Structure 1
Amino acid sequence: MNIQLKTQDAPALRPLTGKVSLVTGSTSGIGLGIARALAEAGSAVVLNGFGTAAEIARTRDQLSADFGVEVSYSAADMTSPAAIAEMIAATVASHGRLDILVNNAGIQHVAPLDQFPVEKWDAILSINLSSAFHTSRLALPVMRRNKFGRIINIASAHGLVASPFKAAYVAAKHGVVGLTKVAALETAEDGITCNAICPGYVYTPLVEAQIDGQAKAHGISREQVIHDVLLAQQPNKRFATVEELGALTVFLASDAAASITGIALPVDGGWTAH
C-alpha cells in the first residue's frame, strides 16, 4: 500500500532542512554517527577528522547520496587555533551560516597521575577542551547574526564523575561541562542553546578493538570483558549506540529543544545515578 505523505508532514520528518552543521572528529565512530543523523534530518554537514583522502571521499559521497544534502570536509587540526579559525571561516563563506556546532573531537590516554606524560596531558586538554572553546567563540557571532544556534558538546560520563588513571580526560570533560554552562548563560537571549551530552561506553570500532585486547590480556571471554570490565559501572550492562547519540543530537538541535540549555545530559545506562 502506498502512503502519501502530506506536505505539512515533511518538516517533522526532516526538521533540520536548510540548516548547516559542523561536527568535529566526525570521520569515524560517534562523530560520524552524529553527522549521519544530522544529514538524515536534512542538514548540510561539514565533516572534520582523520583518514585517507579516499576514505573521506567515500564517506562524503555516501552521506550525500543517502540523504541528499551537501557534505563537505575540513582537515583542520583541532590542536591549532589558526586551523580552527580557517575551518569556521570557510564554512561560513561557503554556506553563509553555521547553525549547529557539535564539538566531538577527542583523544584518550590512561596512566597514573604521577606518571602521566606531560605531552599527553597537553594534547588531551588541547583537543578535548580547548578546541571546543575555539570553535564556539568563532561560531557565536554568525549564530547571533542569524538569531539561531545550537552548540552541542560531546562530553562524557567522565565529565560528571571520575575514574582512576584518566586525569587529563576527566579534567578536560569536566571543563567541557563547565564551558557548556557558561556558553548557555551568555547566549540565553540570543536564540542559541548550548548543551553537553555525557555518554558512558558507546559501541564503536575502537571499543571493539578494546574488547579483544582486554580478553587476550586477561585470558577471559569477550562477554566477561563487556560485563565485568568495560561496563562494570553501567547498571544496564549494554553499550549505547552511535544511533542513539545521533538521535539525541538531532533533538537538541531542533526547535523542540529551544528551552533546553546549559544541561549535561548523561547517556550512560545509569552510571552516574550511583
Structure 2
Amino acid sequence: MTTPPTALVTGGTSGIGRAIVERLRAEGFRVAFTGRNNERGLAVAVGAEAAFIRADSADRAATDRAMYEALAWLGGRLDLLVNNAAIVYEGPLETTPDSALQELFEVNLTAAFRYSRAAFAIMREQRSGSIVNIASDGAIRGIHKLPAYSATKAALLTLSELYAAEGAPHGIRCNAVCPGATHPGMQSTATGFAHHAENDSRWAPAPSGRHGQASDVAALVAWLVSAEAARMSGATLRLDGAAAATMRGETRE
C-alpha cells in the first residue's frame, strides 16, 4: 500500500489557504494546517478531513509547537510545506508605525523562515521535499495601498531563492507564487476588491477576462509539488492574468 504524501499549510482556515488545503486533500495528500480562528479551522478540518492546529504565526512558541504537532500527526514525514499565513497593513509608509512593520515581518517573513528551517531539517533526512511560499504580485511591483506588506513579500521572494539554492543538493525544492487580486483572498479584502469588483471599472478583470480565484492558486501549488515540476526550483511565478503586463493590476489605483 502506497503511503500518501504529506503537507503542512500555514494559514489554512480561509481564502487561498483553505483552497490549498482542499486541493491537496483532493490530490491525495494527508494535510495538517494552521490558523488563528478555532471555529473556522475546525469547520475546514471536518469538511476537508484534515488536521487543524491552532497557531498564531506571530507567536514563536506557537509556530514551534505547530510544527511538532503537525509532524506527529503526519507520521514524522513532510513532503510539502506551504507558507501561506500572512497579514496586511494598509497605509502610507510615512505613517506606518514600527509596531505594525515589526508584526508584518514577524508573520509574513520570520514565521515562514522558521517553518521552512524546521521543514528543511526533515526534508534533508528524507532527501526530498518541496516548500512553496505564497507571496504577492506586490512583491514584484509594490502595491501603493499596501507598501509595508509589499516589502515583506519581496523579502519572502529572496528567502525562497536562497532556500532553493541550499536545498538543491538535498533534493529539496522551493518556489514562490505571487497572486494578483484574488477572491476570496486577504489582499482583495484589504484593498476593497471583493466589494468594488462588480461595479467599479477600475477593478475590471485582468486581460485574462476574469478575476483571480483562490482555486487558481491552489491549482498552481498542486502542480509545483507534482512530478511534472520536478525541475522547478527557485522560481517566482506571477499569477495575475497578465494584469501587471498591461498595467491593469486591480490594486494599483
Give the structure-2-normalised TM-score.
0.88
**How far did residue 246 of structure 1 move?**
1.0
Question: Percent sequence identity over matched residues?
Answer: 33
Distance 1:223 1:165, change over 3 A: closer
Q: Structure 1, unaligned stretches of length 5 or more?
A: 1-10, 12-16, 65-70, 216-221
Q: 1:157 to 1:212 in 2, by over 3 A?
A: closer
Q: Which residue of 2 aligns with 1:83?
A: 62
How far did residue 149 of structure 1 move?
0.6
| 2:85 counterpart residue number | 105
1:270 match: secondary structure: coil
3-state DSSP of counterpart to 1:223 = coil
In 2, Cα distance between equivalents of 1:212 and 1:259: 36
- 1:160 and 2:140 correspond: yes
Name the SS for the 2:149 alignment partner. Answer: helix
1:59 is aligned to: 44
Instruction: Say how many residue pairs are matched.
Output: 242
Deviation track 1:82-106 (CA, whole Å, cap 9, x = no partner) reads 2211111222233211110000011
Residue correspondence of structure 1 range 22-171 to structure 2 within 5 A: 22-53=8-39, 55-64=40-49, 71-94=50-73, 95-171=75-151
Question: Any idea what SS the aligned residue of 1:194 has?
Answer: strand
Taking the aligned partners of 1:132 and 1:29, their CA distance within structure 2 comes to 18
SS in 1 for 2:168: coil
Asked if structure 2 preserves the Cα contact closer than 8 Å seen for 1:113 and 1:165, the reply is no
Question: What's the TM-score once normalised by structure 1's chain length?
Answer: 0.82
Unmatched segments (≥5 aa) in structure 2: 247-253
- How far did residue 248 of structure 1 move? 0.9
CA-based RMSD: 2.1
